[in-house]
Structure 1
């Protein structure tokens, strides 16, 4: 499997997929977490409900979390930091590691609380997170080695398509957009803006890449 990953890292389409997967997961959780970090509720009271036989309503569950105060803000800040690291591309490996307990925790909550179809979405997010960790296995593999003396050299094919600064800049733009709407309001506007920015960024990359090929 690792040979396949090494091969995929040489493919432009695979690198673009990973870059935009980081934007997607990171942006979604920056948007969702910033409101919590600022002390806001997850959803207005009464928006989420479960059948009486469930034993506890989602409203009650999130209200209890909200009333913890500092811990609630800490949860949101954890989402924002891990999501932002993913979006920078430069620190994406660290972001994927930091995001694993967050994504796993959210997935287990949606299963435990029987969020109907939501576990499918959170399961896909968790799978994407695990995929990003596998993608960067060469950078993470030394963590599994026993302590030893000596120098360690990590060789990994770059996934930035020879334009790391460009993808970092686009990540910052998407991060600022997500933070601007990170109070769980105007979700449609936020999603549309991020989609447009992502498409424009992709188109600009193709234009720059074509110009570079023509000039060589």
Structure 2
């Protein structure tokens, strides 16, 4: 059996399961809800994450983005449009395709500035990837796999299965737990979303004094993240 044939076989088994269909709808709704509030804020011209200090690494970015005028509004309109596309079954794939580059960019940005929202953006990215896999039968023709007659046979619609896919949902649970745990131990220090949040984390830091200096470097002096990290490393030494 070809690679495409094996993928089609696994896909058809999943596509015919009612629980996975419910999960796909759940992912569409959750991702749409993730874009609607932020889209409305941008369309109204308000600064996104207004509670985030301008001195925060992500705050620098959001403040600059807010000052781009109609580009900022364009992003908001795009997010609202994508949310609507996701909620409509016929246009859900288009919404998922448009969602992917945006959430990938947001996810990488969150990790780059050590934002506290890295966990949620990672889960949103994984949910988006699931939706793209869910519509594999519609995008497989642009993938670098040779299509055969066997693939067409396997792609035929099968009866709906009511069996609960415990292995799949067990994997989802493990993946969520892994994202949370890995993010918890990924960085020795984070700037937090505010000075208080940053300093509150210093109690459990290996060098509380160096941690407090790092928080002041970020939230009081407004220096770049890499500068403050360099000073933090030197203070620890």
**Aligning the two structures, in what range does the TM-score lie when normalised by the shorter sequence?**
0.5 to 0.7
CA distance in 1, matches of 2:83, 2:27: 11
TM-score by length of 1: 0.60
CA distance in 2, matches of 1:124, 1:99: 13
Give the counterpart of 1:32 among 20, 38, 55: 38
Deviation at 1:12, TM superposition (A): 1.1
Match of 2:210 in 1: none
Match of 2:128 in 1: 129
Contact kept? 1:22, 1:89, Cα under 8 Å: no
- Give ranges in structure 1 of 5+ residues lacking alignment: 147-152, 162-216
Match of 2:26 in 1: 20
Contact kept? 1:104, 1:126, Cα under 8 Å: yes
Match of 2:48 in 1: 42
Q: Deviations over 1:15-72 (max 9, x none)?
A: 011111101111221222122123221022xx2149x7xxx53333211100001111
CA distance in 1, matches of 2:93, 2:83: 11
Relative distance call for 1:16 and 1:105 in structure 2 (3 A) is: same
Q: What is the SS of the residue equivalent to 2:90?
A: coil
Contact kept? 2:82, 2:98, Cα under 8 Å: yes
CA distance in 2, matches of 1:140, 1:80: 24
Spell out the pairing of 1:48-87 with structure 2 (5 A cutoff): 48-49=52-53, 57-87=57-87
Relative distance call for 1:16 and 1:23 in structure 2 (3 A) is: same
Q: What is the SS of the residue equivalent to 1:141?
A: helix
TM-score by length of 2: 0.55
Match of 1:138 in 2: 137
Q: Deviations over 1:123-158 (max 9, x none)?
A: 111111111101111101122369xxxxxx9x6759
Contact kept? 2:27, 2:128, Cα under 8 Å: no
From the CA coordinates, give the structure whose radius of gyration is larger: 2
CA distance in 2, matches of 1:37, 1:16: 31
4+ runs of 1 displaced by more than 4 Å?
Answer: 155-158
CA distance in 2, matches of 1:11, 1:72: 41
CA distance in 1, matches of 2:52, 2:156: 45
Spell out the pairing of 1:59-208 with structure 2 (5 A cutoff): 59-116=59-116, 118-144=117-143, 157=157
Relative distance call for 1:100 and 1:69 in structure 2 (3 A) is: same
Q: What is the SS of the residue equivalent to 2:27?
A: helix
What is the count of residue pairs matched by the alignment?
A: 147
